[in-house]
Structure 1
Amino acid sequence: MKRQLTGGLAALAVFAAVGGAVVAWLPSDAKRTSAASTPVESPTPQETAGSSEPDPQSEPDPEQSSAPPGPATTPLPQSGPGTFVTAPGGSGRVGKGTPLRYRVEVEKGITISPEDVAAQVERTLADPRGWTADGHSAFQRVSDGPTDFVVRLATPATVDRKCAEGGLDTGGKVNCSVNRTVMVNLRRWVLATEFYREDVVGYRSLIINHEVGHFLGHGHVTCPGKGQPAPAMMQQIKGLLGCVPNVWPYDSDGRPLTGPSVP
């Protein structure tokens, strides 16, 4: 989905802008709701063939696991206080043009350090296969002062509340981009999805690339063909449709990895 560009984003005027005052970008996996509608339930495996969203009943319970500490044993609270800790420090500019300043925050009560989340976001946005490959996007992480957008890792309930401000139903499971904020669901950050169970770190980069892609004005696309890389702007959580897993918007030669637009 597109957003209305403001002062700090003037350098991105090449992206299409709309006048939506509430929802700035289409979320990667959230569903649209309205004030008159009841919450939309996530489809069951029978309703959505090939859905990559794991059944919550099949996700490991970190508090009951006897495995060594790791992603599967990280505490996954369902809700939190809705207040955040900002990752300290900052990064240098990556990419060309006027950098978009962003802040990384982690909800209080989550046992993952803000520094670790910030490092992952920095690596993702600095990767040459990321959005800087478009030749005009640039990023810089800050911990204070004005920002163009914020990346927040939060509990499912907090993500749901924030995304609902834009009329979006994330169902306790997925991420969204709304009102200059990228909301990352803790369960997705820790557990990934079906196709990334063996590459959780890679899936985290997909979350950032997908949601920041919406912030930059990119909409959803679908698989371009069997055996080809799944675009970063594809809703991969719903299935790969014959594509192979991929988390980057560009390849190593700077060519965009995309597909047909989704209406």
Structure 2
Amino acid sequence: MTAHKATRSPSHRRRSGTAHAAVRGPKSRLWGGLAALTVLSAAGLAAVGWTSPGGNDTHAAAQPVPTTPPPKPSRLPHRTKPSPSPSRSSSAPPAKKDIPMTGPGTFTTAPGGGAKAGTGTALRYRVDVEDGIDLSAAAVAKEVERILADRRGWTADGHSAFQRVSGGSTDFVVRIATPGTVDKICGEYGLDTEGRVNCSVDRNVMVNLKRWLLATPVYAKDVTAYRALIINHEVGHFLGHGHVGCPGRGRPAPAMMQQIKGMHGCVPNVWPYDERGRYITGPARP
């Protein structure tokens, strides 16, 4: 779902249609005589150890107590849980409580720039990440560049082109921000993003941090794909495209469809165009 209200300069408006514990058996006692050996043999047959396919012992076989006690197993070093990678859908998304709901409203711009993607005059864009959140601006910028340069993206229309910059004039800015900051900026243009969705207003493509990290239930196992849907959908608004609905049961969902509201019979798809360069669209929606 997106909230959309674009107010752009006419010169830039375009329309194209995520401990081990030692296990020991009971202490054996040394019995003398042949009768004791017989008892031990029977006990040994009864105490069978099982090992799970993953190698974790679920039952330990009874063993005679050695004359010298075995050394205690060393404690495993504490490992800090790694933070989720913003560019890998295979990384487990963080718990919702770990995602900040508000931020300072200031941003860090991704350094450097990228190559032009597409034909025609390139739209210059910047990638910003709100300060105080655990995302690398450079990593986010790399992912946005990859999405906008994909042959199934908006460059497939034959006239849209993009180039990432870190300074100078820009046509639009992609911003990853906390839900509170997204709500504030989108709200300045009369849009209610409800702390959970993205928006495209003026020259700001606002991406809700929760959506960037957690996606939606449909895309929960492929967060990277959902990120492509976010960028394609919101940049599509900047280019002048409006919302559309599902074109038919079993058909690919258009990128300009508000898929967060339901698939309505369509199958997941995050790209504006298919592999053959055909535009994926549906009936117009508000």
Give the TM bin, normalised by the shorter chain.
0.7 to 0.9
SS in 2 for 1:72: coil
Matched, 1:73 2:94: yes
Matches for 1:11-22 after TM superposition, within 5 Å: 12=14
**1:183-220 deviations in Å (ceiling 9; x for gaps):** 00000000000100011000000000000000000000
Shift of 1:103: 0.1
Mapped partners of 1:15, 1:224: distance in 2? 18
How many residues align? The count is 211
Q: 1:201 aligns with which of 209, 219, 224?
A: 224
Cα distance in 2 for residues equivalent to 1:189 and 1:87: 17
1:205-220 aligned within 5 A: 205-220=228-243
Give CA-to-partner distance per residue, 1:83-136, whole Å, 9 cap, x none: 000000111111111000000000000101001110111000000000000000
Alpha-carbon offset, residue 2 of structure 1:
5.6
Q: 2:197 aligns with which of 144, 163, 174?
A: 174
- 2:93 is paired with a residue of what secondary structure? helix
Q: 1:15 & 1:228 partners in 2: Cα distance?
A: 21
Q: 1:223 aligns with which of 243, 246, 268?
A: 246
**1:88–1:115 contact (8 Å) kept in structure 2:** yes
Match of 1:132 in 2: 155
Q: What is the CA-CA distance between 1:4 and the residue it aligns to? A: 4.0
Give SS of 2:99's match.
Answer: coil
Indicate whether 1:236 and 2:240 are aligned: no
Partner Cα separation in structure 1 for residue 9 and residue 160 of structure 2: 14
Offset from partner CA, 1:5-62 (integer Å, 9 cap, x none): 344x27x4x669xxxxxxxxxxxxxxxxxxxxxxxxxxxxxxxxxxxxxxxxxxxxxx
CA deviation map 1:129-171 (0-9, x unaligned): 0000000000000000000000000000000000001100001
**d(CA) in 2 for partners of 1:93, 1:236:** 29
Picking from 6, 9, 17, the partner of 1:5 is 9
Kindly indicate whether the alpha-carbon contact (under 8 Å) linking 2:232 and 2:272 is maintained by their aligned counterparts in 1: yes
Structure 1 unmatched ranges of 5 or more: 17-65
Ranges in structure 2 where 5+ consecutive residues have no aligned partner: 18-79, 85-91
Root mean square deviation of aligned Cα: 1.8
Larger-gyration structure (1/2): 2
Take 1:154 and 1:100, find their aligned partners in 2: how far apart are those partners?
22
Q: Which amino acid aligns with 1:237?
A: I
Three-state SS of the structure 2 residue aligned to 1:140 is: strand
Q: Trace 1:108-119 onto structure 2 (pairs within 5 A).
A: 108-119=131-142
Following superposition, the deviation at residue 68 of structure 1 comes to 6.0
1:3 Cα offset (Å): 4.3
Give TM-score scaled by structure 1 length: 0.76
Which one scores higher on RCO, CA 8 angstroms, separation ≥ 6? 1
Name the structure 2 match of 1:86. 109
Is 1:246 matched with 2:250?
no
2:7·2:201 contact (CA, 8 Å) conserved in 1? no
Q: Aligned letter for 2:161? A: A
Identity of aligned residues (%): 64
Cα 1:85–1:69 shift into 2, 3 Å: closer
Counterpart-to-counterpart distance in 1, 2:126 and 2:276? 29
The residue aligned with 2:58 is none
**Are 2:206 and 1:183 equivalent residues in the alignment?**
yes
What is the TM-score normalised by the length of structure 2?
0.70
1:2–1:218 contact (8 Å) kept in structure 2: no
Task: Give 3-state SS (helix, strand or coil) of 1:89's partner.
Answer: coil
Q: Distance in 2 between matches of 1:69 and 1:3?
A: 37
Q: Do the aligned residues in 2 keep the contact of 1:222 with 1:234 (CA within 8 Å)?
A: yes
Q: Please say if residues 156 and 172 of structure 1, whose CA atoms lie closer than 8 Å, have aligned partners that are also in contact.
A: yes
Residue type of the partner of 1:109? G
> Does structure 1 residue 142 correspond to structure 2 residue 146?
no
